[in-house]
Each structure stands twice: as structure tokens, then as C-alpha cells.
A and B are shown apart, each in its own frame.
Chain A
Amino acid sequence: MNKEIKRQLILSVVLLCMLVVTLFFWYDNFIFHTYVNTSDYQYCFMGNNDDLSVNGYEFYKDHDEQSHGGARIVALNDRFFLEGDQVIATFVVKNGKEEMRYVHQLDVKSDNEVLFMNHEKTQEQMSGDEFKETSLEVIVKRDDEKVYEQTLPMNMQQIIAYNGANKNYALQNVYATASWLKTGDFVSTDKQIDKEYPYIIIDYLYLKENGDVDNINDYERFAYVKGKTEDILNGKNKTVAFYDDKGSLLERELRCVVTLTKKDTDTEGYTFMLNLKGAIKAVDSHEK
């Protein structure tokens, strides 16, 4: 072996050792950022007619729980809903072979109330192919008499999954449509984060029209999650928000401000901002 080859070999082996050590020490960080846990599926529907607008009806599987519901029903005419009315909303899914019906009963507590459906657990594992024909049958009862009965066609909306991360913290699986957003999972490389900071607030902001991307004052806060860090790390405390501003939410820049605090009453703590990037649709079920 001549000296030149020996020198090259030693240099390459030293370089290889450095690379292996770097790959080894970066491994955890790489896994944290690259292989993100995803919801098994997430679908969102909306529909409207001249009287009603229904938005954000979900079918999802998250952390091994399958649920449906969660829609907002807004009456488009004044005094459409009156105090004491009972609303029966039935989401109907026809997949060509059978018909599935998901019934929700809502009580109107004040005139012109905006109604929100509960999330209810479902046994069926849904997939995109099953939603061949979807509709919402709405019946309004007043003093035990039907005063309204209509069927609204429901359309599946395009969902974008947003993620944002810095070196040690990440927000994953924030799902959004043009007019709806579901808060995501907060994860950290620090396993003791819930002991160090037991409480957390996550604010979701979107950039106002013609706003400056770099100016935080040009962002509108439209959703937030507040609670115990442990619960949020376990994906328990999720909420949905509806975007009623001009245009589509998907065209807006989205950011999150995360505040970790030691006490429930603290308003200041360890605060940082995460830019949300989304270009990818929500994935279908992994169990095919």
C-alpha cells in the first residue's frame, strides 16, 4: 500500500467515524421531526341551503378513537331558531351498498342560537370511498310539531394538514379546510416538559388581509387551547374553530404561539412561536 492510498484511507475512515457519530446523535431529533404520528383518517363536510349553513361535520380516527359530529349549524334567516326548539340533524352516508345514519339531537336555548353538535363515538371504520353520497336531514320541532324538514347535500372538503416545529417542540396534525380548523398535537423531545411546565396555552393565529408576515400584530387570534400540558401531550384537549373572514383560511399564513407556564394563573412563561406549514392532505387510514 503506497503512502498516498494510506493517507486517503485514514482520512476517509476518520471522516466516516465523524459522520456515524453525527448521524447517531442526530437520530432522535431526526425521528422526532420526520416520522410524525398521524391521525388514521380525518374527513370534513359542509353544506348549505337558503335557510341553513352547516360546516365542519367530521369523521375522524385519532389516538385509536373513532368519532363523528362536531358541526356548527348557523341559521341564515332571523328568528329561524327560537328558544325551546328541538333540532334533529341526521347525517346520512350512502356508499352504494348500504345507508348509514348518524342522528344528533340539539336543543335551542335562545333565539337565533348558533348550534354545535357533540362529537360521538362511532364503531365503523370509515374510508374516503364510502362517502359516495352524503347529506344532512334537518328537522326542526316546535311544540312537538314539525315546522321545518329539509335535506342538505353535504360536500367533502379538501383538508390540509399543517405542521410546525423548532428543534425541541412541534405542533403536528393541525387540520384545516377553507373555513375550519382543528387544533393539533403538541409534542416535545423533552420527556419531562409536563413536570417542568404543568400548564400550556397554544394560540392559533392567521395573517390578516394585506398584513405584514413578520409583524405579529397583523395576526388575528382565532383559536386557542388551554390546559394541562400532560393532557395536551396525550392529545386529549382538542378544539375546532371556524373561519368566517373573507376568502379561504388555506390562503392565509398560519402561526402558533405556545406559552408554557408553571401555574394555571400565570399569563407569562416560556413563550415561543411556530410557523405552520401545510401542503399535504390528511392521510387515509393506515390499515388498508
Chain B
Amino acid sequence: MKSRKDFVTIYMFRNALATLMAAFIAFIISLIQYYQCSFAEAIQRLFVFDIYTTLYFLLMWVFDYVVFEISKIVYDIYEEKVTFLPCIGLWILCICIFFIPILDLFQYNLFILCLLISLRMIKEMWKRTPELFVWVHKIIDKKSRPETGLK
């Protein structure tokens, strides 16, 4: 029981770190693009310059984390029915985000967040429903098979 709790803590920490990076990268790209500045200057603008920017960044991180956790819960509910379709839907959404007229920061953030969710989905599918990846094994087998059976 104790070790399960430890794992939950590690998973939560990992997810928190992943979503933190999503928000961080989105902010940095957006600031660098807007100010045509260096990475160091963007860091300063994010953490030193103004408390309101930093607070919004933290808020966005929490938003990302909650969305990520909801995606996990939804995945667990429909675990047995999950195919590649939701993943493909997320990738299409990733591209469509850039055609929606919103602040580029939100575009980058949602793009990275969707990628993270789809990556986690693929990882879970690989673990729980390996039959979905039969085609991958076939490709790998084909590549590693000798050219003739005599060898």
C-alpha cells in the first residue's frame, strides 16, 4: 500500500513537471517572438519583471495540470474502448489551434498540452492494450528478419 502511494506521488510529480514545462515553453516562445529577445531576457520578463506575468504563468500551469489529470480520468473510464482515434483527433486539434484567432501563447500551450496528452495515451495503450500495436511488431519483425531462410 505504501509503495503504491509512493508511485502516485512520483506520477503526480512527473505530471506536474511535464505540464510546468508545457506552460514554460509556451511562455518563453511567445515572449521571444514578441520582443525578438534572447532566452535569458524572456526568463527575466517571465519571472523578474512583473508579478502579474508570473502569476498568470502559474495559473496556466495549474490549468494545464488539471486538464492533464482530467484526460487521465477520462482515459481510465474508457480504457477498454480506446483506439488511435482520440490521438488522431488530438493531433488534428493541435494543428487547428493555430488557425483559431487567439493569443499565440494559448496556441503554443494547447499545442504542447495536446501532444503531452496524446503521448501519455499512446504509452498507456502500449501497456494496457498491446494488441493495438501488432502492426508495429510486424514492421519490427520484418526489418529484423533475415533475407533468406537459409541463413
Contacts and interface: CB of A to CB of B under 8 A. Distances in A.
Nearest to A279: B44
Contacts of A280: 37, 41, 44-45, 49
Contacts of B37: 280, 283
Which of B49, B59, B60, B62 has its CB near the most chain A CB atoms (within 10 A)? B49
B7 interface: no
Contacts of B74: 9
Nearest to A30: B56
Given A13-B70, A16-B70, A34 B50 contact: yes
A129 to B, nearest CB: 14
A23 B45 contact: no
Nearest to A2: B77
Interface in A27-47: 29-35, 38
Given A29-B52, A279-B44, A23 B63 contact: yes
B73 A8 contact: yes
B48 interface: yes
Interface in B32-47: 34-37, 41, 44-45
B4 to A, nearest CB: 15
A16 B62 CA distance: 9
User: Interface size class for chain A?
Assistant: 20 to 34
A5 interface: yes
A169 B66 CA distance: 32
Interface string A1-27: 100010011001101100110110010
A12 B73 contact: yes
A277 B73 contact: no
Contacts of B48: 277, 279
A12 B77 contact: no
A25 to B, nearest CB: 11
A163 B63 contact: no
A195 interface: no
B124 interface: no
B63 to A, nearest CB: 5
B141 to A, nearest CB: 38
A34 B77 contact: no
30 contacts: A1-B77, A5-B76, A5-B77, A9-B70, A9-B74, A12-B66, A12-B69, A16-B66, A19-B59, A19-B66, A22-B59, A23-B59, A23-B60, A23-B63, A26-B56, A26-B59, A29-B52, A31-B103, A32-B52, A34-B50, A34-B52, A34-B56, A163-B49, A163-B50, A277-B48, A279-B44, A279-B48, A279-B49, A281-B41, A286-B36
Interface of B: 31, 34-37, 41, 44-45, 48-50, 52-53, 55-56, 59-60, 62-63, 66-67, 69-70, 73-74, 76-77, 103
Given A31-B103, A34-B52, 19 more contacts: A5-B77, A9-B73, A9-B74, A12-B69, A13-B70, A16-B63, A16-B66, A16-B70, A19-B62, A20-B63, A26-B56, A30-B53, A38-B35, A167-B52, A279-B49, A280-B37, A280-B49, A281-B41, A288-B36
